[in-house]
Amino acid sequence: MCGIVGYIGEEQAAPILLDGLSKLEYRGYDSAGLAVRDGDALAQVVKAKGRLSNLVEKTDNGNALKGTCGIGHTRWATHGAPSDINSHPHMNNAGTIAVVHNGIIENYIPLKKKMQDKGYQFVSETDTEVLAHLLDYYYKGNPLEAITKVLHRVEGSYALGIMFADQPDKIFAARKDSPLIVGKSDNGSFIASDVPA
Ligand code: GLU
């Protein structure tokens, strides 16, 4: 279980997310990733295996990702080897829902099978990816309804940061048996898996 940071506000999100993730490095991790919203698109997802400095380099210190709303993650792999593909955020097939997750989805194998039978394509070996496809399946325009339906079907522990392409200026968060806190400042709102971030 590792780190989550989310930011939404007036500042550029990516440098804030990287700074927050750097404050969670002490917890240990094997890879890191960011999703930053740019206008209507959620397409800006960058992931890097290894040190956070790889992600810093890949994103030019966050300057390559423009946008004021985003989620970031440092991963400590439980399901699937450390790799760029297994790093978070994970997305639905349409690339319109992004999820970062700390914890373990214990019943992900039957859920994955069910979603594969419905035609969903999995690209990673993680337990987390099933959440992105389940959210896609249940999302009919109401994020809280979709998230609630998904979490009723999931067993295990989670702290989650979620963004939907058609929900601008919003980050959704949920937790069970994994820490996640919410913070507010004059220039924005934050989620984080631990106080230092
Ligand atoms: N179980 C997830 C994975 O292996 C999340 C691990 C974490 O908490 O960093 O990708």
Alpha-carbon span 76 to 1, nearest angstrom = 6
Q: Are 51 and 33 in contact (CB under 8 A)?
A: no
171 lines ligand 1 (CB under 6 A): no
Q: What is the pTM of this model?
A: 0.96
CA angle, corner 89, sides to 122 and 24, nearest 5?
140
Residue 136 is predicted with a pLDDT of 98
Q: How far is the CA of 52 from the centre of ligand 1 (A)?
A: 16
Q: Which of 71, 125, 127, 154 to mutate to test the pocket of ligand 1 (most atoms within 8 A of CB)?
A: 127
Q: How far is the CA of 16 from the centre of ligand 1 (A)?
A: 22
Q: How far is the CA of 40 from the centre of ligand 1 (A)?
A: 28
Residue 41 pLDDT > 90, yes or no?
no
Strands ordered across the beta sheet of 188-192: 41-49, 31-38, 69-75, 3-9, 188-192, 181-185
Q: How far is the CA of 76 from the centre of ligand 1 (A)?
A: 6
Q: Are 114 and 107 in contact (CB under 8 A)?
A: no
Q: Are 113 and 86 in contact (CB under 8 A)?
A: no
pLDDT band at 31 (very low <50, low <70, confident <90, very high): very high
1 lines ligand 1 (CB under 6 A): yes
pLDDT band at 38 (very low <50, low <70, confident <90, very high): confident
Q: In this predicted model, what pLDDT tens digit does every residue of 121-155 receive, in sequence order?
A: 999 999 999 999 999 999 999 999 999 999 999 99
CA-nearest residue, atom 9 of ligand 1: 75
Q: In this predicted model, what pLDDT tens digit does every residue of 156-166 receive, in sequence order?
A: 999 999 999 99
Mean pLDDT of 8-20: 97
Q: What are phi and psi of 106, to 5 degrees?
A: -70, -30
Q: Which atom of ligand 1 is nearest to the CA of 178?
A: 8
Alpha-carbon span 148 to 119, nearest angstrom = 22
Q: How far is the CA of 34 from the centre of ligand 1 (A)?
A: 15
